[in-house]
Amino acid sequence: MARSALMNVMTQAAMKAGRSLTRDFGEVQNLQVSMKGPADFVSQADRKAEEVVFQELSRARPDWGFLMEERGTVEGKDSQHRWIVDPLDGTTNFLHGIPMFAISIALERDGQIVAGVVFNPALDELYTAEKGGGAFLNDRRIRVAARQKLHECVLATGIPFLGHGDHARFLFEARQLMGETAGLRRMGAASLDLAYVAAGRFDGYWETGVQPWDIAAGSILVREAGGFVTDTDGAKFDAVQGDIACANEFVHKGLLAELKKAKTALRASRQPAPAAAADVTP
């Protein structure tokens, strides 16, 4: 597959960062790890990979801005373009020696995600997509799964962890969907969840409260693989808002319907109990 100049820039940055992560992954027990919040680890590997991506993309497109996990927002002279980068999605997996982590790079143009790369260096899997150009895994065209019945589907999601997310909401959603699907999976890396939906490995994915750098690149992978991407209410997807639901057309409808049921049940559970009737016994 012949890649565009833009995709070459993105893939080269991801693969160079991947080589850095692979070296550190082989010595994961020796990494110096610091804490930046409850159960939210930042490693030397994370920072090194981000620096590699930052330098590579800045060299190729010096006027474009960034939204990055560690650096935050870096304004560019060109206000139309912004890179959205997670140099190590799946940090906890990485630190535990689990080979499910990725570099995620997306390009936002005028507020729309127009290109994305997700690279898992441990498995040597490179997912790429450009708007209107289709989605690919290691240069092979990929499509979302064709299943139409929710009870035949395996869905991916993220589970809120210590100090993060709405645990009650997740439990209601998981309870609702466990009874309607063939299974739920939690990979620990949103970018790979989305890449797996694009490749037809998962039939769908939903999550709330996700960071934009975790889902921006994956969202265009799913769209270019023929999938539907919205927020969990079925409204227009916005990576910055951090709510996402995606699948093929049929499964997407079913997923949204079950999430709506879970939302209704959660709302009812949070209503105050009615006051007891007054005792009017003479």
3-state helix vs strand vs coil in the chain, percent to 5? 35, 25, 35
Element spanning 25, H or E? helix 5-25
For residue 224, say whether it is annotated as part of any ligand binding site: no
For residue 88, say whether it is annotated as part of any ligand binding site: yes
Element spanning 88, H or E? strand 78-89
Distance, CA of 14 to CA of 245 (rounded, Å):
25
118: left (phi over 0), alpha (psi -120 to 50) or beta: beta
Under DSSP, is residue 45 helix (H, G, I), strand (E, B) or coil?
helix
- Directed axis angle between helix 212-224 and helix 190-198, to 10°? 0
Under DSSP, is residue 277 helix (H, G, I), strand (E, B) or coil?
coil
Under DSSP, is residue 20 helix (H, G, I), strand (E, B) or coil?
helix
For residue 231, say whether it is annotated as part of any ligand binding site: no
For residue 31, say whether it is annotated as part of any ligand binding site: no
For residue 255, say whether it is annotated as part of any ligand binding site: no
Binding-site annotation, residues: 69, 86, 88-89, 214
Binding-site annotation, residues for Mg(2+): 69, 86, 88-89, 214
